[in-house]
């Protein structure tokens, strides 16, 4: 059912095939071949690929609200970071024993700050099921409250973009404070276990990569299915002719809110998969610059396609990996130049250019 409509979309088929291949081949190679073999992927490479896949899911979540609903949200990184912090809280609760008489052990940063007991909002995060639930509920609830207030007030265009950016900046300042109980400027790090397994082991790293790839594939299929449904067609109509859709009797605010919340949940899941693979989460993930980078990923790949955001996220972050290792001082100039060139020369992104390429004439 989920694959219906992709038979004539070669780009979608290629992206799905590439994602499936990466998600399965890399872990299998590490399972079959020994370290030192040309077909064995190092821990650094596995973590890097897994990180790219989480960024691809984050980019796809923005493409959903920007490419299909016309909402240029400049705060998508906030939902990504919130999902990451929830996962970080779970991972921090896995460090050490559970304490004498069942009392929870305080994380290192709380001991350093001379906290006497675990804050109430940390309780229960030693259970994975609760953490998994909060990964989608926390970003989703924030998006619901924020979106309900904004869309109900009919805030649109550049004004909505500005307040979404202000939201992520405010969260960054809040999480920098030690009193918040999230590690301050150092954040959460030094994770040991996940679900009882050593998070630094090659097997766990490979499983995290596989989980990221499978999650991305499922999210892509489900989201594309939603976009092709009646709800998706109304959302696209809101993007193109909002006033006309409103005059037809549709509650435009409800459709915008639904898409905004769903995209926030996807971003939260991406953040939760990102944290155990990089080993740290700190307030810098809330930086408005990070959210602006996500916009560039989507613009480069091609918005309004979903899989264009995946391609853009992987390509831009791969370029970032190369340039920051070779000449870190020129990375931001490259990023700005890429956005300008794409906006001027490729307004539909790389996928849009590929779709418009001249077809070969059959003899």
**pLDDT for 133 beyond 50:** yes
- Phi/psi-derived region of residue 233, left when phi > 0, alpha when psi is between -120 and 50, beta in every other case: alpha
Mean pLDDT, the chain, as a whole number? 88
Place of tokens 């870190």: 328
**pLDDT for residue 325:** 79
Lowest mean per-residue pLDDT among 35-44, 138-147, 283-292: 35-44
Phi-psi region of 230 (alpha: psi -120 to 50; beta: other; left: phi over 0): alpha
Confidence check: pLDDT of 248 > 90: no
Report pLDDT for 63. 96
- pLDDT of 311 reads 93
Phi, psi angles (nearest 5°) of residue 326: -95, -50
The average pLDDT across 94-98 equals 67
Is residue 7 predicted with pLDDT exceeding 80?
no
316 close to 293: Cβ distance less than 8 angstroms = yes
Q: Is the pLDDT of residue 253 over 70?
A: yes
Reference 92, options 74, 73, 119, 52; nearest CA is 119
Band of residue 1 on the pLDDT scale cut at 50, 70, 90: very low
- How many Cβ atoms from other residues are within 10 Å of residue 230's Cβ? 8
Give me the mean pLDDT over the 222-239 stretch: 92
Task: For residue 69, give the nearest of 220, 253, 219, 250 by alpha carbon.
Answer: 253
Against a cut of 0.85, is the pTM above it? yes
Coil/strand/helix, residue 281: strand
311-321 tens-digit pLDDT: 999 999 999 99
Q: Phi/psi at 11 (nearest 5 deg)?
A: -65, -45
137 vs 127, 140, 143, 212, 281, CA distance in Å? 16, 5, 10, 19, 19
3-state secondary structure of 197: strand
Angle, vertex CA 224, rays to CA 356 and CA 132, nearest 5 = 135
Q: Do 254 and 124 form a contact (C-beta atoms < 8 A)?
A: no
For residues 327-341, give the mean pLDDT.
Answer: 82
In the chain, what are the domain boundaries?
10-356
């Amino acid at each position: 059912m989920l694959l219906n409509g992709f038979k004539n979309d070669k780009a979608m088929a290629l992206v799905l095939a590439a994602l499936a291949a990466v998600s399965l081949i890399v872990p299998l190679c590490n399972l079959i071949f020994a370290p030192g073999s040309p077909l064995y992927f190092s821990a650094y490479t596995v973590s890097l690929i897994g990180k790219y896949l989480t960024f691809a899911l984050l980019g796809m979540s923005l493409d959903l609200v920007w490419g299909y609903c016309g909402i240029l949200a400049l705060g998508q990184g906030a939902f990504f970071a919130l999902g990451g912090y929830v996962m970080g809280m779970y991972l921090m609760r896995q460090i050490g024993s559970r304490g004498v008489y069942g009392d929870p052990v305080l994380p290192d940063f709380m001991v350093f700050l001379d906290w006497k007991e675990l804050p109430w909002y940390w309780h229960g995060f030693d259970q994975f099921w609760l953490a998994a639930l909060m990964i989608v509920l926390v970003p989703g609830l924030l998006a619901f409250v924020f979106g309900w207030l904004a869309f109900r007030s009919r805030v649109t265009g550049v004004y909505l973009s500005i307040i979404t950016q202000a939201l992520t900046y405010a969260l960054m300042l809040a999480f920098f404070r030690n009193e918040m109980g999230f590690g301050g400027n150092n954040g959460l790090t030094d994770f040991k276990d996940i679900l009882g397994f050593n998070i630094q082991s090659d097997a766990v790293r490979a499983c995290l990569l596989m989980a990221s790839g499978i999650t991305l594939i499922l999210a892509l299929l489900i989201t594309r299915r939603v976009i092709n449904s009646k709800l998706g067609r109304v959302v696209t109509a809101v993007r193109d002719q909002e006033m006309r859709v409103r005059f037809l009797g549709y509650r435009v605010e409800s459709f915008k809110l639904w898409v905004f919340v769903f995209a926030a949940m996807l971003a939260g899941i991406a953040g939760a998969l990102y944290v155990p693979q990089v080993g740290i989460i700190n307030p810098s993930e809330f930086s408005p610059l990070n959210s602006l980078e996500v916009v560039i990923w989507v613009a480069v790949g091609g918005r309004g396609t979903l899989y264009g955001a995946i391609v853009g996220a992987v390509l831009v972050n791969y370029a970032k990996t190369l340039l920051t290792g070779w000449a870190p001082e020129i990375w931001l100039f490259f990023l700005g130049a890429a956005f300008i060139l794409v906006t001027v020369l490729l307004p539909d992104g790389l996928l849009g250019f590929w779709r418009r390429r001249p077809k070969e004439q059959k003899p």
